[in-house]
Structure 1
Amino acid sequence: MLSAAFLAGPAVAVAASGSGGSFASETPQVTGIACVTACTGLDSAGPGSVVRLSGEALDRVSAVAFLGADGIADDRMAAPTATGPGSVTVTVPAGAASGPVAVANDDGNASGPSRARLAVVSPATAVSSGGVEARVEARRVFYAGRRKARLSYFVRSAGPASARAELVKARTGTVVRSYPAVTVPGRTVQSLEWDGTVGGKVPSDGTYLWRLRLRPAGTTATMAQSGETVVEQPFEFVRDRFPILGRYRFGTGAGEFGAARGGRSHQGRDVFAACGTPLGAVRGGRVKFAGVQSRAGNYLVIDPDGTGQDHVYMHLRRKVTFRKGDRVFTGQRIGEVGDTGVADGCHLHFELWTAPGWYSGGRPIDPSSALRRWERRS
């Protein structure tokens, strides 16, 4: 369990925050643990090993708790060595025991104990055998999301190995990216990452495979293949995510694109949901506009990566805390469904603008087919 000292900060921070500013500091979440250096396995390590925690809202983490078994007797704390939106690296402290971890950020918001567990093993007692461990960090990744498509692998033999990797579209077997062969030391964790593009373009949704080939260093591809190990790890790649993160229904009639409303044409599509239902970014990118307008209410415009179009979110429940130029990630919470401005009930008014964008030379187009497509994939 989390120690009382670890939880004291969050209670104070929440009490001081009041009811507003709900997006100023997201609660961090830990979804995965992987060893990086001085490892005994992909998710096993010893004191002094460097491990990487993956998850959400980790860029402001200031403390990591290694929770061990139930109770606080074996809890150990450590400060991270590096942080980012989707990952934290930290050195395993002396006395840490096998078990889950938790994190807290500099606002005092704390995660719960992770489902993932870190095995803490003395290197002297670690079991080593031939072969390789490999896994993907996430089974499902979104383009421009916080979590990247990443393969981690651990060569269990003591000697070096030659590693070569390919990224394959599972349905067709097409190799979409090849990684050059590298020589990696034994008993270390290595990783490969894909930015979600092929030839500078975002490929289609679907299942992809990491295909990893390893053989003892010094051998060649033309030698007998009996010593080669081939490992495949699948993951699902999705370009966009439906914006409403809860129950919803599409508006009809006056809520459809092009409908006549108050002497003007409706420039978007209304999607109704309960007030306060979370909204997520359809695709990550840069904030282009954020503000308040008499008809739109609280609104946000995002220029998503790789589309040339703009996504517009209107009638948000609270004032938007993002500023022009801020980076957002696919699926990141950007607000809540509301009824600010001129709105008949709580709903998201969503607009899709062609390049070069919203009131900057583009024009609004019917987003209905895009919303239905994102609905199917999300």
Structure 2
Amino acid sequence: MFNRREFLKALGVGTSLLLWPSLAAADSPLGKRRLVVVLLRGALDGLAAVPCDSDPAYQRLRGSLASQEGVVAPRLDGTFSLHPSLAFCHRLYQAGDFAVVHACGLPYQGRSHFDAQECLENGTATPTGSRTGWLNRAVGSLGDTQGLGLTSSRPLLIRGPAPFATWSPSAHGTTQPSLAQRVAALYRQDPRLGPVFERALAMQQMAPTDIDSGGLLKDTLAAAAQFLAAADGPQIAMVEDDGWDTHARQNAVLSRKLEQLDSGLAALHGKLGERWQHTAVVVITEFGRTVAVNGTGGTDHGTASCILLAGGAIRGGRVHGQWPGLARLRDDRDLIASQDTRAVLKGVLRDHLGLDLDPLAEQVFPDSRQVGPLAGLIG
């Protein structure tokens, strides 16, 4: 007999998969509604993704980061524009399916990637506030709901007792049919592992076959769309991407990374089909970056950044929240956080998924009753 580790290894030659109790989603309280959370690790420079280029201090403070010869940033409103690499997002903005919440930050205002990511994922005010993730707790609070993390590991954001599977593509291909048949025969009579294996095979059949094994963000978001579009698939998905720590050559690095994000959202939009109209996408990062450029053409760890929202369920075509401006900075270097990141997440979870204020304030984001949901994000 295989032990559990050998069983899961044989099961997932091409797939990393931690299974939920059931693939049937017909009685889900969410109905057609879907949520995608995209976590950008490394700290996205919100002032580069969504420049406040009409602010009198912007050009002076940003220096070479603000002036790219021959590059025209598409306008959002009288204050903000969008990075030129986010061309598809701008079209979504014009169609009312894309929005921005600028100047968002965490209660933790240190400059450690690790501590900030812990806070962002555990949903509390401190890095050690919880060993489970707010997205897992949200799934648990909803009941009869399934989550899927398209990750090679199991990040804190989705850890916890609620049903949350993980899936990731592999460069080695999918499980060989002969191996699957042998394992199926081996465990057919096993009351514990038999049903697990059957669900794993069903999940693998749902998995997309046209993704690039390079693991690009575009391919991962396309895969997420295919899972979410399935009638018996998950209702909530989490995707992560790293490489956003732009200490040097930021203009070149961010142009490439934002283009990948833009292409990924385009792929998600295309493969979701009619489900796009019932989907909210939330793009978050652990903190922002310094307003001024450093000596290597990049930026250092800061405080506030922006949250990007997309999907047919979003009240788009606008920049939400309060804008603090650049006349005053935190520690004379950082954009001030006017919005608590948890307020934005609460607003989406309440108005899109229907979570009540009590579970949001006590279970999903513990001890956060003083942080009210940001209204008006869902159309």
- Pick the structure with greater CA Rg: 1
The structure richer in helix per residue is: 2
Shorter-chain TM-score: which interval?
A: under 0.3
Please identify which structure carries the higher strand content.
1
**TM-score after normalising by structure 1:** 0.23
* TM, length-normalised to structure 2: 0.23
